[in-house]
A and B are shown apart, each in its own frame.
Chain A
Amino acid sequence: GESVGLHLPTLSVQEGDNSIINCAYSNSASDYFIWYKQESGKGPQFIIDIRSNMDKRQGQRVTVLLNKTVKHLSLQIAATQPGDSAVYFCAVALGYNNNDMRFGAGTRLTVKP
Chain B
Amino acid sequence: NAGVTQTPKFQVLKTGQSMTLQCAQDMNHEYMSWYRQDPGMGLRLIHYSVGAGITDQGEVPNGYNVSRSTTEDFPLRLLSAAPSQTSVYFCASSYSLSRTGNEQFFGPGTRLTVL
Q: Could you list which residues of chain A lie within 8 angstroms of chain B, going by C-beta atoms?
A: 4, 32, 34, 42-46, 49-51, 54, 57, 89, 91, 93, 97-106
> A45 to B97, Cβ gap below 8 A?
no
* Top 8 A-B residue pairs of the complex, sorted by shortest distance between their CB atoms: A43-B106, A103-B42, A98-B97, A46-B103, A103-B43, A105-B42, A97-B98, A44-B106
Known: A43-B109, A44-B90, A45-B106. A103 touches B97 (CB 8 A): no
Inter-chain contact A99/B48, CB cutoff 8 Å:
yes
Interface residues of chain B, those whose CB is within 8 Å of chain A, are 4, 31, 33, 35, 40-45, 48, 50, 56, 58-59, 90, 92, 96-98, 100-109
Contact B45 A51 (CB under 8 A): no
In Å, the complex CA distance between A111 and B85 comes to 33
Does B101 contact A89, Cβ atoms closer than 8 Å? no
**In contact, B100 and A49 (Cβ under 8 angstroms):** yes
Q: How distant is the Cα of A54 from the Cα of B101 in the complex, in angstroms?
A: 13
> How many Å lie between the Cα of A46 and that of B3 in the bound state?
14
B42 touches A100 (CB 8 A): no
State which of B45, B106, B109 has its C-beta within 8 Å of the C-beta of A100. Answer: B45
B-chain residues with CB within 8 Å of residue A50 when the two chains form the complex:
100
Contacts of B90 in A (CB 8 A): 43-44
Q: Is the CB of B107 within 8 A of A101?
A: no
Of A49, A103, A105, the contact of B101 (CB 8 Å cutoff): A49
Report the Cα distance A34→B33, complex, angstroms. Answer: 16
Q: Are A99 and B42 within 8 A (Cβ)?
A: no
A97 with B96, Cβ < 8 A, contacts A43-B90, A89-B42, A89-B43 known:
yes
